[in-house]
Amino acid sequence: MSRPGGAGRIPVFLLTGFLGSGKTTLLNAALKAPALANTAVVVNELGDIGLDQVVLAQAADNVVLLDAGCLCCANTGALHETLADLNHRRARGEVPPFERVIIETSGAADPAPLLHILLGHPLVVSDYVLDAVVCTVDAQHFLHSREQHAELDKQAAMADRIVITKHDLADPGPAAAFLATLNPDAEFAGDAAAAFAPLGHARKPAPALETLGPIRPHGRPSGIRAFAFRPEPPVTWAGWAAWSRAVGERFGARLLRVKGLIRMEDSGEVALVQGVQGVFHKPQRFRDWPGDDRRNSLICIARDIAEDELRATLQDLNRERMAET
């Protein structure tokens, strides 16, 4: 039977969130949930002592601690090597069988470099498939902390699922309201089992454009906004190549994340498309729509880009063939 990640690959969940937001608490709860049995965990920490590994060792056997250091900088190469080694050890019976992998990043990590590895590195994509980016948000401190730490907005904006923590210490309502505008495509999960349940490629319909007004800043404006588009057919593979190249060159790292489901009329396939900071990865192809909504959808999470600037580029999606160079 194929794994839930599709094409026989192992689904991966990237767990991000700022320092003290409750990532390890969520992970411990996940490893005790019967629905999440047979989960392998890769933990990354800042510093020389892997305290999280000590905590997690009580809950699971499959805990792999990466070399000390932040994955978002000099240590990015360790992730693909760790995942490849973990899969080889699994095949040789050196570690118990696992059905999914959760990667816990350090609280200071920028998720973008890790997403590039999970979406595009050949040692990873042959055996693994990114299922969801899960972000923990501290109800008590998030809205105040984001004024000093820009990475909080970026982590939440790039997430597929958000878990608001510390309900016992603060009302989660204000943070939830802000996050629903910052990243309206994200799902909110109430517990660990829901946070790491399969998301796969069955995405909910894109929110209506009129619902995506200016983000309420709650302090320092981040410049991050979410845009939802319904590209008009026919969209072609040549059009997708032209559009992704054009926006990558024009907007670069300001285009934090792109994700969508689009029917390519020239092949009849439906493509799950993803891009991170202006770099686009090989789309996942399906023979038909994975859900009930059969309309093209394209979600763009951007920093300091106006809606009109992005909307003006959509005409490239309808190209019949690539322009001669």
Examine the pLDDT at 209 and tell me if it is beyond 60.
Answer: no
Q: Name the pLDDT band for 97 (thresholds 50, 70, 90).
A: confident
| pLDDT tens digit sequence for 164-185 | 999 889 999 999 999 998 998 8
Q: Is residue 119 part of a domain?
A: yes
pLDDT of residue 72: 37
Q: Is residue 4 part of a domain?
A: no
40 and 95 in a common domain: yes
Q: Which two tokens stand for residue 68?
A: 């000390």
The domain tally of the chain equals 2
Q: Is residue 141 part of a domain?
A: yes
Please indicate whether residue 234 or residue 203 has the higher confidence score (pLDDT): 234
Q: Name the pLDDT band for 316 (thresholds 50, 70, 90).
A: very high
> CA 240, CA 219: separation in Å to the nearest integer?
37
Q: Is residue 51 part of a domain?
A: yes
Q: Is residue 74 part of a domain?
A: yes
Structural contact between residues 15 and 23, judged by C-beta atoms closer than 8 angstroms:
yes
The enclosing domain of 92 has a CATH number of 3.40.50.300
156 and 20 in a common domain: yes
- In sequence order, which ranges of 183-265 are alpha helices (DSSP H)? 192-195, 237-251
The enclosing domain of 304 has a CATH number of 3.30.1220.10
User: Which one of 144, 166, 195 terminates a domain?
Assistant: 195
14 and 152 in a common domain: yes
Quote the mean pLDDT of the chain.
81
| pLDDT tens digit sequence for 255-306 | 999 999 999 999 999 999 999 999 999 998 999 998 788 899 999 999 999 9
| pLDDT tens digit sequence for 106-116 | 777 788 888 99
DSSP code, position 311: H
Strand partners, 163: 136
213 and 191 in a common domain: no
217 and 181 in a common domain: no
Q: Is residue 98 part of a domain?
A: yes
What mean pLDDT is predicted for residues 250-256? Answer: 94
| pLDDT tens digit sequence for 25-52 | 898 888 888 888 888 888 765 444 344 5
Handedness of CA 255, 261, 265, 269 (dihedral sign): positive
User: Which one of 151, 166, 195 terminates a domain?
Assistant: 195
Cis peptide before 184 (omega within 30 of 0): no
Please indicate whether residue 56 or residue 22 has the higher confidence score (pLDDT): 22
> CA 10, CA 58: separation in Å to the nearest integer?
24
Q: Is residue 200 part of a domain?
A: no
172 and 277 in a common domain: no
285 and 148 in a common domain: no
* Residue 181, domain extent: 10-195
pLDDT of residue 96: 79
What mean pLDDT is predicted for residues 95-108? Answer: 83
239 and 173 in a common domain: no
239 and 179 in a common domain: no
User: Which one of 140, 161, 195 terminates a domain?
Assistant: 195
Strand partners, 138: 165
Q: Is residue 1 part of a domain?
A: no
147 and 251 in a common domain: no
pTM for this structure? 0.82
pLDDT of residue 201: 56
78 and 28 in a common domain: yes
152 and 123 in a common domain: yes
Q: Which two tokens stand for residue 41?
A: 């965990």
